[in-house]
Structure 1
Amino acid sequence: MPRPLSATIHTAALAHNLTVARRFAPNSKIWAVVKANAYGHGVARVFPGLRATDGFGLLDLDEAVKLRELGWAGPILLLEGFFRTTDLDVIDRYSLTTTLHSDEQLRMLELARLSKPVNIQLKMNSGMNRLGYTPERFRAAWERARAAQGVGQITLMSHFSDADGERGIAGQLAVFERGAQGIAGARSLANSAATLWHPESHFDWVRPGIMLYGASPSGLHAAIRDTGLQPAMTLASELIAIQTLAAGQTVGYGSVFTARGPMRLGVVACGYADGYPRMAPEGTPVMVDGVLTRIVGRVSMDMLTVDLTPCPAANVGTPVELWGPSLPIDTVANTCGTVGYELMCAVAPRVPMRGA
C-alpha cells in the first residue's frame, strides 16, 4: 500500500495567479518562470494552468524541449543562457530565446552556424552582481550583438536584488537607465516582487515566478494577503499512529521534546526524505483535520510528530495538511528559517504528485 502522502498541483490556482500578474502589469507581456521543474511543481503539470502566458522562462534545455513537446509554440527564454556551443544547436532547432550575459557566450554565438537568427535578452548587471555586462560595457556588447548575423531581436534585461525589501529598486533602475540610455529595444526587468510592488519597472515584459505558485517573494504571507494569489500546491498526509505520553516522557531522536503533562501525539507520514525540512523547530504549524496545531520532537526521515491537544477527536487516518490552502507555505517556511521557494523545490521524487 502506498504511504498516505501526496502533493496536489492546482491547475485553476495557477491560471488564477497568472491573471493576477496581468492585473498588476496590464501593459506588459509575461514570461511565466518555470525553472527548477516549475519550482518543484512539474513543468508538465503547470503547463495547462499557465498556457495563457506570453512566454515561458526556465534554465534547462530538456525542460524547454518538454514544453515544445507539450505543444507550446510561443517564446521560451533560457534565463541563464547557454553554456557550450552544442547548446546552440538545440536553441536553433527548437527556436528558443536566450539570455546573453558574457563575452564568452557572445563569441560562441558569433561563430555559430544557425538556420535562423536567435532572439536574445542582453543582460546588464545593474547591481545584483551575478550575471550580466556592467553598465559601462553594455552599449559595446549591444553593438557587437546587433552586428552578429546569428542575432535576431535584442531585448534589454536586468534583475533586481531587493525588489521585495526596504532597499527597493530605485538604485538599480537608475543604473540600468544610464547604461541603456539611447539603446533601442524592449525591456525586461521585473521579477515577482517588482511585478507586485514596483509598477515603474514593468516595461515591455515582466518575469513572475514565485507569485504564480501562490507564495510571497518576500517570504511573508502577509505581504501577499490582499493580492488574491492562491496556493498552487497542497502537501497532505494522514496520521498513521497515535501515542499517549505521560508527563516527563520524550519523543523522537535526541529526545528534544518532553511532555509537561499527559498528552496525545499524532505520527504523520512525512519526513525529511520527502523534502520536509529536518530543522523544523517545535511549534512549526500543521493542520490536522482542519485544526491548527504544531510539530513536537525532531523531524525524522519518514515521519514527524504533532501535538493533538487542539484536536482530541483526531485518530489514525485523520487528514493532515502540511502546507496548502489552509496553511500558507510561507508561514511554514518562515518558522523553519527558510523561504517557500526552497520547500517547493525540495519535495522529493518519492512523493506522489498529481494535477487537479
Structure 2
Amino acid sequence: MRAARYHGEDDLRVEDVPEPTVAADEVLVDLRAASLCGSDVNYLTGKTDPATDPITLGHEGAGVVEAVGESVESVSVGDRVAIHYIRSCGTCRPCSSGHDNQCRNRESIGHHVDGTFAEYIAVPERALVALPDGIPFGVGSIAGCAVATGYHAVQRAEVSPGDAVVVFGAGGVGLHAVLWADHVGAATVIAVDLDDHQLEAAAEYGADVTLNPERDDVQERILAETDGWAADSAIECSGSAVAMEGAIEAIDGRNGYESGTVVSVGIQTEDIAVGFGDVREGQLRVVGDHLRSELQDIVRLLETEAVDVSPSITHEITLEEIQDGVDLVLEGDERVGRVVIDTTSA
C-alpha cells in the first residue's frame, strides 16, 4: 500500500509499505480520508519531533472496517468509523475513570506508531467511534482532532452561557473553539489572529468580535467589550508565547481582584512567565488530548446537524499530493482551513 512517511525534518516521502496485519483486539480500517494537522507540519519543519523515525504521519482519519481481530466485538466489516488517535490500555486508573487521554501506557497514532496518511491502518478496537452514514468521511476525519481539540478546550475552560470568551489563534483548532464557545451559549466570543482570512472564518463560526493585533489594541478592546471585567475564559490555540501572555492578560480585570480561566492548547516551545496576580482567583490549565467520549459527543452533534464543521475543509488533495498540502499550510497566501487527503486515490 502507499503511505506518506516521515524520514526527518523536511523529508516526507510517499512510498510503498506492507499492509498492516491486525492483532486479536485490532481492526483494519480502509481509510477513505485523512487530514493534515499543524502537528504534522511541526514535525516537518523541525519545531517538534515524532517519537520514532521513519513513521507514517497523520492522526486524523476515517474509513470503513476492512477486517477485525478475533476478539473484536463492537465493530464489524463494512462499518463506517472515525479514528480516535489515542491508543490506550483501557485498564489503568485514568482509563478506568474515562480519562483515556491520561493513560499511563498510551501511544499516539502518527507520533508513536504509524498513522493515517496511508491506504490502511490497524488500530485497537477502542480507538474507533462509529460514523453515521450522513457524515462525510472528510468531516469524520477532522472531527478526530481539529474539531475535538477545540471542543475539549471549551469543556476545560468551563464556558457557561453568558460568558465572555477570547480565542487567540483562529487556525484549525481555534476556529472550532470559537464554534463550540458559541454553541454552548457564550454571550461574547472574541477571536484574535494576525490573518484576516482566518478572522473572517471566525466570524462565520460565531465570533462576535474579531481583532488583529497589528491594528487593534487587543486588551483595551477586550475590556471595552466586557465592561472592564475582562474575559471569563481565554483559550490560546496558536502556540505563540506572545499570544499566551495576551491570553493571561485577557482574563485580568481592571481592578486586579478578579480573573478567569486560561486554557493553553497550542504547543508552547518557549518559556512564559506568570505572575501571582495574573491568575488571582483564576486558573491556568494546559490541556492535552480530547477524550474518546468527547469524540462520541461530537459525532452525535454532527449527526443531528446541531453544528456544521464542513466549512472548515478548504482544500482536498490526493495522498500523492501531500507535500503540496504541507506547502499550502506553510505559505499562508490564502485562507487554509483543514486540508483533507483522499487516501483512496493512492
TM-score, scaled relative to structure 2 = 0.30
